Amino acid sequence: MTDRPVPLTREGKAKLEQELEDLLARRRDVSARIHDAQQQGTSQNDAEYDDAKQEQGMIEGRIIEVEDLLRRATIIDESSAHQAGRVVLGSGVEVDQDGTPRHYQIVGAPEADAAKGKISNESPVGSALLGKSVGETVDVHVPKGVIKVKVLKIY
């Protein structure tokens, strides 16, 4: 694992903390299921035991991942981002993307959710917008080709 800082909004950090809490509760439940299946000791419980062990592995992996993200988290100063004259991490930005108006918020990768307009600073569009000011147009290389994105408003 890397020690690279992970930019998160306060909301994003709170969601990860809640997810960790939920995972720790699920860990206890799965542990109890494993214990019960072991106590039964019959072959009919082998499938239940195997399922619980598999779920335990997935939960443990995600716990490690979320704990690492939280350990490396740096909070994005959204109030400063909204006042910046250029697109920065945490900025809301209105763009004209190949003739279609779009609204984005630039966030760290763990928080990205394109359906909600939150794009990663590491994505092609997010990284191309960083540092741009109102009126600037940038060509963005995406899997389907090149798109033109013009910054209309930063908020």
CB–CB of 150/128 below 8 Å?
A: no
Backbone angles phi, psi at 91, to 5 degrees: -65, 145
Percentage of the chain modeled with pLDDT above 70: 97
Mean pLDDT, residues 97-114? 95
**pLDDT grade for 39, boundaries at 50, 70 and 90:** confident
CB–CB of 52/33 below 8 Å?
A: yes
- Specify the long-range contacts of residues 39-47, CB closer than 8 Å, at least 24 apart: none
Better-predicted residue by pLDDT, 52 or 42 = 52
CB–CB of 133/142 below 8 Å?
A: no
Percentage of the chain modeled with pLDDT above 90: 78
**pLDDT grade for 121, boundaries at 50, 70 and 90:** very high
pLDDT at residue 56, as a whole number: 97
**pLDDT grade for 1, boundaries at 50, 70 and 90:** low
What is the average pLDDT value for the chain, to the nearest integer?
93
| Alpha helices for the chain (secondary structure H) | 10-40, 46-71, 78-83, 124-129
Nearest Cα neighbor of 118 from 103, 97, 135, 100 is 103
pLDDT at residue 48, as a whole number: 84
**pLDDT grade for 45, boundaries at 50, 70 and 90:** low
Tell me the pTM.
0.82
Taken in order 99, 138, 107, 62, the sign of the CA dihedral is positive
pLDDT at residue 44, as a whole number: 60
**pLDDT grade for 69, boundaries at 50, 70 and 90:** very high
Domains and CATH numbers, the chain: 6-75 (1.10.287.180), 78-154 (3.10.50.30)
Distance CA 46, CA 28 (A): 20
